[in-house]
Amino acid sequence: MDTLLAIGVVSALAAALAAALTVAERFIADYGACTITVNDDRRFEVAGGGTLLESLSRNNLFIPSACGGRGTCAYCKVKVLEGAGPVLPTEEPYLDAAEREDGMRLSCQVKVRRDLRIRIPDELFNVRPFAASCVRIRELTRDIREFRLDLNDPAEIEYVPGQYIQLQAPAYDGNEEVYRAYSISSDPAEPDAIELVIRLVPGGICTTWCFEHLHEKDPVSFNGPYGEFRLSETDAPMILVAGGSGMAPIKCILHHMQNRGCRRDAIYFFGANRVDELFYLDRMRQFEKDLAHFTFVPVVARPEAGASWNGETGLVTEALERSLTDASKHEGYLCGSPGLIAAAREVLTKLGMPEEKIYYDAFA
Partner 1 sequence: MKESPERQKLEAVLRSSGMVAGGFLGRDRRPVAEIIEADAAELGRLGRTASDLAARMRDITKQARGGLETPVRVGANLEARMIEAKGSLPCPWPHAGRYPKGMVIATRPDTGASVRWSELSLHLIEAHGFFQGRGSRYRLEPRDAVAVLF
Contact range with partner 1 by CB under 8 A, out of 118-126, 168-176, 254-262, 284-292: 168-176
Q: Is 78 in the site for partner 1 (CB under 8 A)?
A: no
At how many degrees (to 10) do helices 247-259 and 281-290 cross? Answer: 30
Q: How many residues bind partner 1 (CB under 8 A)?
A: 48
By CB under 8 A, name the one of 49, 224, 244, 298 that touches partner 1. 244
Q: Is 112 in the site for partner 1 (CB under 8 A)?
A: no
Contact range with partner 1 by CB under 8 A, out of 54-62, 197-205, 216-224, 230-238: 197-205
Q: Which residue's CB is nearer to partner 1, number 186 or number 317?
A: 317
Question: 137: which residues sit within 8 A by CB, 6+ positions away?
Answer: 145, 146, 147, 148, 214, 215, 216
255-261, long-range: CB within 8 Å, 24+ apart, which pairs? Answer: 255/161, 255/186, 255/187, 255/188, 255/189, 256/161, 256/188, 256/231, 257/231, 257/291, 257/294, 258/287, 258/290, 258/291, 259/187, 259/188, 259/189
Q: Which residue's CB is nearer to partner 1, number 102 or number 150?
A: 102
Q: What is the largest CA-CA distance in the chain?
A: 85
Half-sphere exposure of 51 (CA within 13 A, CB side): 19
User: Residue 93 Cβ, how far from partner 1 at the closest point, in Å?
Assistant: 4
Q: Is 315 in the site for partner 1 (CB under 8 A)?
A: yes
Q: Is 271 in the site for partner 1 (CB under 8 A)?
A: yes
End-to-end CA distance of the chain: give it in Å, rounded.
Answer: 52
By CB under 8 A, name the one of 80, 110, 178, 358 that touches partner 1. 178
Q: Which residue's CB is nearer to partner 1, number 135 or number 200?
A: 200
Question: Hey, which residues does 61 pair with through a beta bridge?
Answer: none
DSSP sequence for 160-192:
-TT-EEEEEE--BTTBPPEEEEEEB-S-TT-TT
User: Residue 242 Cβ, how far from partner 1 at the closest point, in Å?
Assistant: 11
Q: Is 72 in the site for partner 1 (CB under 8 A)?
A: yes
By CB under 8 A, name the one of 129, 204, 237, 311 that touches partner 1. 204
Rounded CA separation 62/130 (Å): 12
Q: Is 66 in the site for partner 1 (CB under 8 A)?
A: yes
User: Residue 72 Cβ, how far from partner 1 at the closest point, in Å?
Assistant: 5
Q: Is 92 in the site for partner 1 (CB under 8 A)?
A: yes
Q: Is 225 in the site for partner 1 (CB under 8 A)?
A: no
Q: Is 309 in the site for partner 1 (CB under 8 A)?
A: no
By CB under 8 A, name the one of 131, 137, 201, 324 that touches partner 1. 201
Contact 328, 316 (CB under 8 A): no
DSSP state of 298: E
Q: Is 338 in the site for partner 1 (CB under 8 A)?
A: yes
Rounded CA separation 336/322 (Å): 20
Rounded CA separation 163/183 (Å): 6
Per DSSP, the three-state class of 135 is strand
Q: Which residues bind partner 1 (CB under 8 A)?
A: 7, 11, 66-68, 70, 72-74, 92-96, 99, 174-176, 178, 180-182, 199, 201-205, 207-208, 243-245, 271, 273, 301-302, 315-317, 336-340, 343, 363-364
